[in-house]
Structure 1
Amino acid sequence: MIEKLSLVGFGPDGWGWVFAQAGFMTFLVAFTAFGIGLLVGTLVAWARISGSKPVQVAASAYVSVFRGVPDILIIYLFFFGGRQAITFVGTALGMQGPFEVSAFAAGALAVGLISSASQSEVLRGAYQAVPKGTIEAGVAVGMTPLGLFRRVIAPQALVTAIPGMGNQWQGTVKDSAVVSVTGLVETMRQVAIASGTTREYLLFAGVGAVIYLLITTVSDKITRIAEHSIRYHVETKVA
């Protein structure tokens, strides 16, 4: 038993350091993907709320595609399909290969676009939850569109959006596991490497689970603090 536990330590025979690096890579992929998802999701939500009819239809189709297609298929499309596309273009231009696609970039982009579809729905719902009377009152007192958004819409929408966005972050962390198929050494890939090397499948699967739980538990605490802080700020202003 002691020998098995030494495998997860930080000694010369332990896998502790490589799992720490893999856990950081998981966080980095998820953080980058979430940022991409927030940016694209905001644009998609805006398109569905304020866009013309064709723009709304296109935005709805985008959400349907990225919420309906399996995550791993999108990863394959961006990583393996992207490599094939770059190879085709490079060869056509007379460039010498080999042509590679960054596993990190392809994985983060794919997971980010997957996340953006769900984030757009959270943001759209949060905007629609703002009482119309509040917006009309801001317009009546002569607020500019930017001032109305900054002082009225955004604070109230954030109160509604943060719990949902917290759930989206948790989902992005878990979705980042599928990036392992690209060969990027994040938590799931490291679990596979360590398990295959030592044949201690249960032990290292447990290590992987602990890493994901640490990231999601700490993130949940931060989300709750942010939610309470913004709610207090909004209620204080209203009072």
Structure 2
Amino acid sequence: MLDLQGYGWLLLQGLQMTILVGICAMMMAVLFGLLGAWGKFSPSKLANWAANTYTTVVRGVPELILLLLVYYGVPKLIQDAAAAIGYEIRVDLNPFVAGFITIGFIYGAFCTEVLRGAFLSVPRGQMEAARAIGMSKILAFRRVQFPLAMRMALPGLGNVWMVLIKATALISLIQLDELLRNAKVAAQATREPFTFYFTASLMFLAITLVSMIVLKRAERWSRKGIREAV
């Protein structure tokens, strides 16, 4: 059993928090990705501009800067805005909420491009056939286009997840007790940084290996009934 001078439990707690943050952030990323892909396909110039600006800015600014802007900058902005209209308030963001929303927002830009490519990969004839048998546009999207696009997007979304789960380590800077922060606490207490940082790296590697196995099985499941080209 993982003991590490009595600090093994601390790393395991951090591992649980890291996985929880990663899952919540990935759900947010897919949501932002769907909204971004919709904006890129939208005939509305405003929606198209907003989606393109979102993906360009987010992919061009370091993740750490965005995280610090959200956690430290947003509360100050709200407090200053309230003070300008005569109110004095104190705003403190929950590190967990701020962390997974910010990470999800950042990787939503990458999901946008993955989903955009997946929707473009769906043959137009599939939708035409669905409409020809009487399906409405919304029903055809829900039953035909969306499932096909998600099947094609699965490998790309898997890659986003692999990078996202490592990016959760950044949240240690906003005092969330995730894996890296707990490893730092244990390393400082025992003065054995190599032991605890190396163990933390092995835990991140374990998450990646398990994720690869799950994603491969998910891809095989999604290809059931699909005839592969020879």
TM-score (norm 2): 0.91
Residue by residue, what CA displacement relative to the aligned partner does 1:174-226 show, whole Å, maximum 9, x if unpaired?
Answer: 11111111011101111211122222111111111111112222122111111
Name which of 200, 204, 212 aligns with 2:196.
204
Relative to 1, partners in 2 of residues 1:155 and 1:235: Cα closer, same or farther, differing over 3 Å?
A: farther
Contact 1:123 1:161 in 2 (8 A): yes
Name which of 106, 110, 117 aligns with 1:125.
117
Equivalent residue, structure 2, for 1:3: none
Structure 1 residue 23: Cα displacement: 0.5
Contact 1:111 1:175 in 2 (8 A): yes
Equivalent residue, structure 1, for 2:69: 77
Equivalent residue, structure 2, for 1:221: 213
Structure 1 residue 9: Cα displacement: 0.6
Contact 1:155 1:230 in 2 (8 A): no
Greater alpha carbon shift after TM alignment, 152-161 vs 124-133: 152-161
For the pair 1:33 / 2:42, whether they are aligned, the reply is no
Name the aligned partner's letter for residue 218 of structure 2: A
CA RMSD of aligned residues (A): 2.0
Contact 1:103 1:183 in 2 (8 A): yes
Contact 2:79 2:89 in 1 (8 A): no
For the pair 1:9 / 2:7, whether they are aligned, the reply is no
Structure 1 residue 146: Cα displacement: 2.6
Contact 1:155 1:234 in 2 (8 A): no
Name the aligned partner's letter for residue 220 of structure 1: M
CA distance in 1, matches of 2:222, 2:17: 30
Structure 1 unaligned blocks of 5 or more: 1-5
For the pair 1:114 / 2:114, whether they are aligned, the reply is no
Structure 1 residue 91: Cα displacement: 4.9
Structure 2 unaligned blocks of 5 or more: none
Equivalent residue, structure 2, for 1:104: 96
Contact 1:156 1:234 in 2 (8 A): no
- Structure 1 counterpart SS, 2:223: helix
Contact 1:138 1:152 in 2 (8 A): yes
Relative to 1, partners in 2 of residues 1:193 and 1:146: Cα closer, same or farther, differing over 3 Å?
A: same
Greater alpha carbon shift after TM alignment, 47-56 vs 20-29: 47-56
CA distance in 2, matches of 1:180, 1:32: 16
Structure 1 residue 155: Cα displacement: 2.5
Name the aligned partner's letter for residue 21 of structure 1: Q
Overall identity of the aligned pairs, in %: 35
- Structure 1 counterpart SS, 2:224: helix
